[in-house]
Structure 1
Amino acid sequence: MSKNGFWAISLLLGFFGCANDKPALDNPSRGSIIVAADESFKPLVTQLTSAYSGIYPDTHFEIVFKPEQQAINLMLQDSARIAFVTRKLTQKEQAVLDQRKIVGAATKIATDGVALIINRSNTDSLLTMNELKSLFSGKITQWSQLKGGNQTGPITLVFDNNNSSNLEFVLNTFKVNNVRNLRIFTTRSNREVIDFVRKNPSALGFIGVNWISDGDEPLTAELSRDLRVVGVSDKANPTKRDDYYQPFQEDLGMMRYPLRRPVYVLSREAHPGLGSGLVNYVARDAGSLIIYKLGLWPSVPYNREVNLKN
């Protein structure tokens, strides 16, 4: 064999060896990916990914919980494959994927709500959207300005993070551009909001409803202890208690609770991989059942078949 022929064969072997050394792409039943999620969806995302890994033991999800914008940025920067958030990408954000020739996808999986919570010693558990608007415009600052309450002193509005989806959703709902003069206190998580409200009767907390809506989860009972969930009415002058709705399943699904919002899974996956497998699972019957169990309203309802025998 000539010297040139020897080197040609060596190069070919080296090429194929390198190709074989490339890590195999993940697929719906095997592999590991990073998932970003807004922290307000921690119970939801934890249960969905845990259930999926229970079906496919060779899958692993590293979940990073961040404020919504940071979760989206992780997905755009390819530091996460998918992201659980409350909105689709903006045109500017979509352009980031377009530049890399990535189509991307946004799949709505559920309807969620922002729950308003107060200390159990506070009897003022009914608010109108007009009253909430006045709270965020600065016209109402004291509990004594609200009807039916037993609290006095200033109202402290408590959120989980300066950049959280809960805060952004409420500010957008009431078209608030400047929070400088508002009495807003932020913690580091939805759970810390719950703890703060439990210790402070003057607080009005805002959390993702999935933190307190799973009736079968012991943690829900623990977190709900010593709290009231506020009923909200979009009527200007409600006359009865039935005019107020809480952020629980039927009122979310029937669009009666005013502070409802969608839950999306954003994906940058370019092949039929583990991210697609999880999204398909979530958007179909099995995943919908978990969403339903958590007290949210699934985008694809879980159909139960009942056989009746004579």
Structure 2
Amino acid sequence: MNKLLSFSFIVFIVALVSSCSSCQNQNETGERKVKETITSGVIDISCDESFEPIMEQEIMVFEAAYPKASIIPYYVSEAEALNMLLKDSVRLAIATRKLTPQEEASFKSRQLRVRTVQIALDAIAFIVNKSNKNSVISVDQLHKIVTGEVTDWNQLYPGSSLGKINFVFDNQGSSSMRFAIDSLCQGKPLYTGLFAQKSNQAVIDYVAQTPNAIGVIGASWIGNEADSTNTSFTDVVKVMAVRKAPGFDPYKPYQYYIATGDYPLTRPIYMITTDPRNGLPTGFTKFVSSQRGQLIIFKTGIVPWNANIALKRDVSITDTF
């Protein structure tokens, strides 16, 4: 009898422990949680909005390969993406710059290790309305526009009747605006007459409807989805060719010319993690850096950083100027 009672008590304890363990794996709504590993769990990430076309595809393929993983992206300005990382709102951010020494010191003071991995080489693209006959511009001309030295189309192209140049960025605090300040302003302040929309898509829509506009967007937004060779662009707007300096040929931001450096306005893309447990942020970063993840980047029209993929040069430097 005593043995039977002891056995019943042991069974009860085991059932109770199992029940408590099950409760710990549920959230407040009673839904079962998935333990976070490099291929499972639920995480938020922050991403520069310029790279939404890339990350949407990466996430879709990753989640299909690992059904227990769920990645929730926040597409925001680069400044906000990094700010979310600094505030520990996310453990993974995608941006075009590395952290500053002060930012790294902030994480070090919290005993958080920062890992920065370059995944791609992107380009800043300049787009104009399809009716605009002027589709070649130089780096020096862009410098004069962003600093306010040039404000009218006829200052660039004598005889142009387009009037004032409406030069538009994707949003305040974006990587495109920071690129203009760091690389095009050359120490001068950014002209206050420039303005911003709320996203890369909003810039495309605005330029498509505005004959005198120049839009600044990430190169992954201008690809032709129907062209697997990455040698043509969207037909909604016209993509400008950029001349590095007098005497140089102008180039459009085709994948091949981004890789060779012939297109002069390029920028890296980094995945930055603060993942002490080597969990899903680390796993997703490894996936994007892998051959499979890099092939996805290749298909978006920019340059994968960690893969040996042959790039096509089936374009002419004078293509549709």
Q: TM-score range by the shorter chain?
A: 0.7 to 0.9
CA deviation after TM superposition for structure 1 residue 178, in Å: 2.6
TM alignment of 1:128-167, pairs within 5 A:
128-147=138-157, 150-167=160-177
CA deviation after TM superposition for structure 1 residue 150, in Å: 4.1
Which position in structure 2 is the counterpart of 1:256? 262
TM-score normalised to the size of structure 2? 0.82
CA deviation after TM superposition for structure 1 residue 286, in Å: 0.1
Distance 2:34 2:207 in 1: 48
CA deviation after TM superposition for structure 1 residue 103, in Å: 1.1
Residues 69-127 of structure 1 deviation map (CA, whole Å, 9 limit, x = unaligned): 11011112111120110010001111111011111111000000111000011111001
CA deviation after TM superposition for structure 1 residue 182, in Å: 3.9
Which position in structure 1 is the counterpart of 2:277? 271
CA deviation after TM superposition for structure 1 residue 160, in Å: 1.1
CA deviation after TM superposition for structure 1 residue 265, in Å: 0.3
Distance 2:289 2:103 in 1: 24
TM alignment of 1:1-310, pairs within 5 A:
21=24, 25-147=35-157, 150-174=160-184, 175-179=186-190, 181-216=191-226, 224-238=234-248, 243-303=249-309
CA deviation after TM superposition for structure 1 residue 294, in Å: 0.4
Distance 1:148 1:49 in 2: 48
CA deviation after TM superposition for structure 1 residue 177, in Å: 4.5
Kindly tell me: are residues 105 and 146 of structure 1, through their superposed partners in 2, closer, same or farther at Cα, counting changes over 3 Å?
Answer: same
Cα root mean square deviation, aligned:
2.5
Which position in structure 2 is the counterpart of 1:308? none
The one-letter code matched in structure 2 to 1:271 is R
Distance 1:150 1:120 in 2: 15
The one-letter code matched in structure 2 to 1:21 is Q
Residues 197-241 of structure 1 deviation map (CA, whole Å, 9 limit, x = unaligned): 0111111000011112253389x9xx9334110000112244xxx
Number of paired residues? 283
The one-letter code matched in structure 2 to 1:270 is P
Distance 1:199 1:176 in 2: 33
Distance 1:21 1:39 in 2: 36
CA deviation after TM superposition for structure 1 residue 148, in Å: 7.3
Distance 1:161 1:144 in 2: 27
TM-score normalised to the size of structure 1? 0.84
Percent of aligned pairs with the same amino acid: 32
Give the stretch that moved more between structures: 131-140 or 39-48: 131-140
- Secondary structure at the aligned position of 2:251 is classed as coil
Distance 1:92 1:287 in 2: 31
Structure 1 unmatched runs, 5+? 1-9, 305-310
CA deviation after TM superposition for structure 1 residue 134, in Å: 1.4
